Amino acid sequence: MRKAKVQKTFIHYEPLKPWEIVLIIIYAAITLGIALSRFILSTEGRQVAIIFYAMLTQLFSYIFLYVSLRNFQVYLIWLLFGVIHFILYLYLKGDAELQMVRGYPSRLLINTIPLLLLFQFLRYLSMKAQRREFVVPAKGGGPDLIENKRVSGADYLIMLIYIGTWLGLTMLFLF
C-alpha cells in the first residue's frame, strides 16, 4: 500500500538544491555585470542588456522557477534580487546615456517585486480554489514540463493573469 503524499504548508523551507545555488550565483554575477555595465558595455548595449535582464527575469521566474519559488527560502532570495532591482533602478534612472525615446529602460526593474508578490497571491488562490499548487501549462496542452502534473482550467487562468500583468507592466514602464 502506498503512503499518501503529505501536502506541504503554504510557507515551507527546504534546503536549496545544487542547481538552484548555481543559478543564484550566475544570476548574482549577471546582476553585478548590469550594475557595472557603464564600464563594460556601449550605451546601446546597456539599454538592451537592462531590458532583457529585467523582462526575462520576470517572465522566466514564473515559467521555469514556479516549483522552486514554492520554497520560501528560494522565494526570499529572489525577493532580495527584487530589492536589488529596485536599487539598480534608483542607481540607473538618472543616467542620461540610457535615455530612450519614452524614458529609461531601468524602469522595468521596478516590476520584479510586484510580480513576485503576484506569484504568491496566485499561488494562494490556487491552494484555496484547487486545493493544490498551480502548474504552468506546457505548449501543446499536455502536462506541465517540470512536475508532469495535469493542467486545469484554473492553471490557464493563473497563467493568463500573470502573463497579462507582466505584459501590462512592461508596456506601462517601457513605452
Cα 69 versus chain centre, distance:
9
Q: What is the domain range of residue 140?
A: 18-174
8 in a structural domain: no
9 in a structural domain: no
5 in a structural domain: no
Residues in contact with 74: Cβ distance below 8 Å, sequence separation at least 6, in sequence order: 16, 20, 65, 68
Structurally, the chain folds into a number of domains equal to: 1
Residue by residue, DSSP assigns 112-138 as HHHHHHHHHHHHHHHHHHHSS---PPP
Question: Residue 100 forms beta bridges with which residues?
Answer: 103
1 in a structural domain: no
149 in a structural domain: yes
Cα 24 versus chain centre, distance:
13
Reference 110, options 63, 55, 41; nearest CA is: 55
C-alpha cell at 30: 549577471
* pTM recorded for the entire structure: 0.90
Reference 71, options 23, 143, 129; nearest CA is: 23
Please tell me whether residue 12 adopts helix, strand or coil conformation: strand
Could you tell me the mean pLDDT of each successive run of 10 residues in the chain, 175 residues long?
62 90 97 93 90 93 93 96 96 82 84 96 94 86 84 93 94 76
Question: pLDDT tens for residues 73-88?
Answer: 999 999 999 999 999 9
2 in a structural domain: no
Question: pLDDT tens for residues 30-62?
Answer: 999 999 999 999 988 999 999 999 999 999 999
